[in-house]
Structure 1
Amino acid sequence: MTPSAPTLAFVESPVQLLNVLEWAYARATPAGPPPLDGIPPQRARSGPAPGEGPGPAAPVRIVVLPPTDPMSRGQLRRMAALARDEGHDVRWQEARGSRLAPLRALAALARDVRAARTIVVGDPFSRYVQLLLTLVRAEELVVVDDGTATMEFVAQTARGERLVRWHRAGGGGLPGRVRELAYAPVSATARRRFTPGSAADGGARRVEVFTSMPVVPHGATTLRANDFAWTRARFGPPRLTRGTDLVGTSLVETGVVDPGRYLEAVRALTAEHGATRYFAHRRESAEKLRTLGRETGLEIVRPDLPLELIARRGPVGRTILSFPSTVVHTLPYALAGTGVTVAVCDVDPSWLTGSASPRARSFLAGVSDTARDVRRLPARTASTAG
């Protein structure tokens, strides 16, 4: 039987796995206390100076709980290979796809979860991760970035609210309410785990948030800045093309933005800025991407790794356009010192669907407003697509 690991990480997406690697790398680097205002440094260096880099990161046992969609699974397998190259122990654990899969996975992981001294999670909103947290006895709990969702997680835990993804509008009728009621004890236990306290009282003795998002930790929660030092040390700098790249988003797939309005916005950005390539989000549908390519003339690129690594390896455009999303916060770190400009186009309120959550408008505006080292596109760019 494989001995239990002192540090155990659970990831469900390629970006979460990337950020576990970044966390392990940062943990191996002697660092001072986090910034007093809770906000990561504005600029990152282009890479460690000679002889300045950290020693080998302590190995982490990383449990991959893969989703069912092929694009995510493919990227996760590529990221798992990179993690193994770094000396980490990666375990692929199916927890979806059948009614019994979650229970089998829980039974297979229970021993390791109880024995780990440090637990690292990539998605605190995940119901499966929350279920695993009911078994946790660790002295330390770490939340690594899951993109802009980290902003909402920190805000909700600070207010003592239940953990709900920002784009969820509720609903589901009576069956949905019954499921929520039955799940409430698990969700409440997870919230307690994310509150610093003693291991004896069922909480985590220390709670750390490892993030590149502009968040302020609450209470005794520790903040560690993620400036993508591992990515910059391992890849690039990239060769720059003369073109402009556009980053796709899954806002249509999550029901937040109307498909027709999104197509109009992409068409307007392509024409105004001379974009030539469209880096698809792993959740974007094939039908939507075919329509975008046909209507705009953009070359549709399906990345096989998170965009931070794709951009750092290059080639990449001198300008990268994006709607409000994680990359407007992470790419300035990953591409620091390369000369690449990251620009963000706001989502016009008229693009939102009738089923979008009440939080959608303010949340997306906040993602853009708090982004640093990016160029804000003029409001007329958004209005031309509306």
Structure 2
Amino acid sequence: MKKLLYIPAILLFAACSQPKDKKAQLTDLKKQQADLSAKISKLEKEVGTTDSVKSTDVAVMDVQKQSFTNYINLQGKIDAKDNVQAFPQAQAVITAIYVKVGDHVNKGQTLVQLDNSVLKQNIAQAQTQADLAKTLFERQKNLWDQKIGTEVQYLQAQSNMQSAQKQVASLREQSDMYRIVSPITGTVDQMDLKLGQAASPATTFIRIVNTDYLKVKADVPESYSSNIKLGDKVNVVVPDANDSLMAKVTFAGRVIDPSSRSFPIEIQLPGRKTLRPNMTVVLKIADYSKSNAIVVPINAIQKSENGDYVFINVNNTARKKVITEGASYGGLVEVKTGLNVGDKLITDGSTEVEDGDKVKVLQPGN
């Protein structure tokens, strides 16, 4: 540009130093001006001009419609549907242990025997009395059938027999209290008992877990009470097992806990060897879905007092577009207004440009 400033000075100097005909002078000066302009143009192409516009390197993506789903993320814990403790019903010394941790047991199976030797003796004596009472009743009944004896004798013999049998049954029930019995079919998960140890209902127990029927328990914040209901599909992610599966909400509490401001939910799980009680899981519950949404990366969006905006590439020029955001999940945001299918959204480099700046689109790998 400085060279262009020299042109009038040269023309003025030439006009003053050469007293020629004005038309000839004008022709001569225009020729000199054309020569100087050609030289300036040539030099600018060789060394570049200081007034050239610099462009910013950016990456772009084509705006397209796609499916978008927003999820509620919750943390839960795997629990066994049947997870119980088996207690003794009496206090006595352990005389036999029939199972160990990890053993499969059936409902009603005896796991531990307590000392019931005194009751055994009482049962034996009572059984002898019951057998005698039964024999006397049968004889009295035969006589009564033959119309021998009185009805009172018959009824007395019957009463004695029934009383003796009830005594035996009562003693056997007491004896059963000196056992620890499995209330469900499952696996022994916890037991720390030894022979000779004094067992009592308050301190002694065996944990039985049925791992064939597992469930997830979680607490849902009150703010999501209208978003979760029975039958909703849930993506259950188990980080420690490197596993995930789809399930459904099988229980949703109707009452909000006043202290935690949440309500419980449960999701029944299929039996898997990789899943164990007390594992931590992440629940992803879809609360919003759209099949033809315009979705952009969240890092392409900028914020200002006048609203959110993005930049698109129009003929290698950055153009600002004010947008309206919708739901966001997983680093993506639904754009409800402001973008159209086919727009070239500037992603990388969007924070380095202003409206109207020249941009250079980088090819993948550059």
Alignment TM class, shorter chain as reference: under 0.3
Q: Higher relative CO (CA 8 A, sep ≥ 6), structure 1 or 2? A: 2
What TM-score, normalized by structure 1, do the two folds share?
0.16
What TM-score, normalized by structure 2, do the two folds share?
0.17
More strand per residue: 1 or 2? Answer: 2
More helix per residue: 1 or 2? Answer: 1
Instruction: Give 1 or 2 for the bigger CA radius of gyration.
Output: 2
